[in-house]
Structure 1
Amino acid sequence: MRNNYFKKIQLLPLALALSLCFTTVPNLAAEKEKQSINNSKQKIDENKAKIDTLESEQKKVNEKIKDLEALKSDTAAYIKALDQNMAEVTNELITINNYITQKQLDIEFTQDQLAKATQSESDQYASMKLRIKFMYEKGDTNFIDMILNAKSWSDLLNKAEYISRITKYDRDKLAEYESTRQLVSDTQTQLQAENAQLLDLQNQEVAKQQSLQALLDQKNQELAAYKEKISNAQSEIASQQSKIDDLYEDISAQEANIEAMEREIERQEEEARKKAEEEARRKAEAEGRDPDSAKSDYKSRTMTGGFTWPVPSSGRISSGYGDRESPTEGASSNHKGIDIAAPSGSNVIASAAGTVVIATYSASAGNYVMISHGSGTYTVYMHMSSLNVSEGDEVSQGESIGSVGSTGYSTGPHLHFGIRKNGSYVNPENYL
């Protein structure tokens, strides 16, 4: 009976410490009810935040459209201004999507840390329960009995040291368990904060998508109204025809610019070749060799390898190469490339390595790029929302050159992609 009494005294400090740990755990039913109320409040707050974000973004885009109202009399200027606003929103959307991707990775990492900490807490708790059970059942390890049964001062000191170490071990394990519980609590708080940040970013993404669609709808309404003016009123045809003529002139100017650039590149290559031959001839004369036998080491750019698909995220061709029904008034019915439908902001890459010879804006082609690949071969990319390259840049195959958009004479986001060989357009589908 005395042994059982001392065993209970021996267990008292550890049991008291454990009871202090778990007195903070509330009644399970009350905790569930409290959690349910908190979840409801959180959902209400999330919905309010989402509504506030959408209303704020809607107000912003409505102000942009209102600011452009004065330009409506000039269709080309109005469309260009809408294109610029769409490009800005698209860039903001790309940035938000990048933030969302990174935040999702952060959440995955924090969830993994929480799972590890929770498992550690569970393991430590199970270990402490086994320790208490062992101390209760192991009657022959009673500390007081050990001290009273000491046979000498040396034996007494050894047993006291043994008891001290066991007691320290129990205190350390208890402190370690408390630290792990705190880590679990802190990680849960961090995870809640990161989920709230992700929700805010997702709300911003939805709002930006709606802004982009609102601007595109406004542009399509203007294009539709422009077409209706031409088809419904003969008296308007004369005044509006000049605008269509301007568009055709821009298309012709753009084609002339492309052809002039090709001729200029050929001229530069021919001059470089002649210069290299003249240098080789002079070098042969200086060395006493036959000038006619001298060979130049000049090499013009040569097309190597094939073409890769220019829009990695989409493989859908919305309009093929060749004759077609014009999609909107003023657009070409002899399609000199293919249209690849893709969401605004989708990455556009160089189909082959080469030099950027044109990177500019045109009322008909929007933001467009032309790349020289050598061997009389060029690729053309039109209607992009933004450009990542400038004239003179050297690009490698697969390098990003811009983003899909709907700039210029376009009714929806897509990339117009063309290939020119030896001064003429060819069907890209035969080369991709």
Structure 2
Amino acid sequence: MRMRHWICAAALSSGLLIGGVAAFSAYATSVEIEDAKKQVSALEKEKKKVESTLSQLEGLKADTAAYVKKLDGSLSSLAEELEQLGNRIALKEEEIDQAQIQLESAKREEEHQYDSMKLRIKYMYENGQNNLLDMVMESGSISELLNRAEYVSQIAEYDRKMLTAYASAKEQVAAREQNLEKEHGELLVLQESTQAKQASMQKLMDSKQKELDSYNSKIAMAQDELDQHNADIKAQEEQMRRIEAEMKRREEEARKKAEAAGKTYTVSNLGNISFKWPCPSSSRITSNFGDRESPTEGASSNHKGIDISASTGADIIAAADGEVVISTYSYSAGNYIMLDHGGGVSTVYMHCSKLLVGVGEKVTKGQVIAKVGSTGYSTGSHLHFGIRSGGTYVNPRSYVSP
């Protein structure tokens, strides 16, 4: 908003300069060039602030971009880790399926062996006496009898061993299946934990990406503002060149007119002009003529007048008879009036709340021409009063007092 204020003020003063050149004195252009210089100085300060902000934003953007890159790498690692976990889980599930198949097979083998053994035991029990008698009667010798008895014993022992082996195999497969299920569960927990970590990191990634987008947007805005400052500075510098050229043109014009009339252009003696105190309601001076500490940013440290503290709306009067050559708004002076008293002498009245006379009007000493205010570069309600002679500001207190 302040930037727009500067631009509008510059455009206004530039327009008045071009449109009303004939009505302005050389001193008017001096005020305008001083005003333009202040605007350039203020713009340069604002430009430095924007450049500093832009540099900080670029740094923050670089830090965020580096962090986003790091997050992206971490997310890629997590995605790879999840893929490996998925493969391990799938492999573990295949192993569990195989273990279940082996377990079912072992159960069936055990049941089959158990059923076969039960049948043999039942048969031997039901036919035990007859088989024993037949074995004795049919054996041709003691050796053959013992061999047959040993055979029966071996069959029974075989059944016991096989049953034990199948039972052991079944237990081993069952234990393996249990371990596989445990490992599968642990992998699922790890997968869930990794997925949660991935989701959290992705959320952070999205947040940082938005932050990065925000920095890009702010940088673009700051760059636009910087470009605008550069354009405004260039415009003000161009205006200063125009004003300086106009001042030289008027000076040359005045010299030529004087030569054509056979006269020498001289400056009036200030001692011959009787000035009246410009603010009847107050005699309190808050800032004297000359070097001072700048009261506010943009205000001059070389004070070319005196500041008279007064209430807003208090009368401001013409210090001497003269013609209004400026009645306008300035970026630094606020609403102000300049009176031409002839002979290169002029007075200026700044920071007014209201202007009551216009360019070209004739005024008399003591006539109310404006109201006290605090417009432009100002820290409070007051009148800045200045006297110029021959293009140079002089100390008003040497020529006027309350």
Q: TM-score, normalised by structure 2?
A: 0.39
Q: Kindly name which structure, 1 or 2, has the bigger radius of gyration based on alpha carbons.
A: 2
Q: Which has the higher contact order (CA 8 A, sep 6+)?
A: 2
